[in-house]
Amino acid sequence: MGIAAEDKTLLLMRHGKAEEGPGRPDHDRVLSKRGVRQGELAGAWLRGQGLVPDLVICSTAVRTRQTWDAVRRGGAQAEYVEFRRPVYEGGAEALIETIREDAGDSSTVLVVGHNPTMAHATSLLCDGDGSGPGHEALAGGFRTSGIAVLRYSGDWADLEFGSCDLERFHASEA
């Protein structure tokens, strides 16, 4: 009989509200004041829930880096932070592959990325399993600074579609 895998937590977070405007490449868009506040509130919520990531995998985009900085100022902590281009440009499958490759022995991983990738990855990973209220909240849209909290049992290298349960979805009002 094999050893049972330890439950792990995967936090998929969309960046805060970004400024709109012409003349700036998408990768270089910055957070609005509202987006900064959303990130700070999300950090306070993570701290209050006891959700402490061992690893943060963050898109290379300016607005996701700024979101992580705001989350940290709000009280969240992480031992390691990695910035990965596939989280910005790759879509849900590339995001899941990045988690497989980078998560290692982490028990809690936070990914700071973009929509529609965050919503699509959540849908693929949970396949409708988990909290009814969580799925109902997500049905309203994966709002800026929203966080999907997923549970997973297994090695990160084996993460696949339908292998997680959605525990809840949280979006801070700002």
Asked whether residue 1 is domain-assigned, the answer is: no
What confidence tens digit (pLDDT) does each residue in 19-65 have? 987 778 999 999 999 999 999 999 999 999 999 999 999 999 999 99
Each residue's pLDDT, cut to its tens digit, for the chain (174 residues) gives 334 458 999 999 999 999 987 778 999 999 999 999 999 999 999 999 999 999 999 999 999 999 999 999 999 999 899 999 999 999 999 999 999 999 999 999 999 999 999 999 999 999 988 888 888 888 889 999 999 999 999 999 999 999 999 999 999 876
CATH number for the domain harbouring residue 72 = 3.40.50.1240
Domain encompassing residue 69: 7-170
Cα–Cα distance, 40 to 63 (Å, whole number): 14
Give 164's contacts (C-beta < 8 A, 6+ positions apart): 10, 125, 126, 129, 130, 150, 151, 152
> pTM for the complete prediction?
0.94
Residues found in the chain: 174
**In this structure, is residue 158 part of a structural domain?**
yes
Instruction: Say whether 10 sits in a helix, a strand or coil.
Output: strand
Whether 2 is in a domain gets the answer: no
Total structural domains within the chain = 1
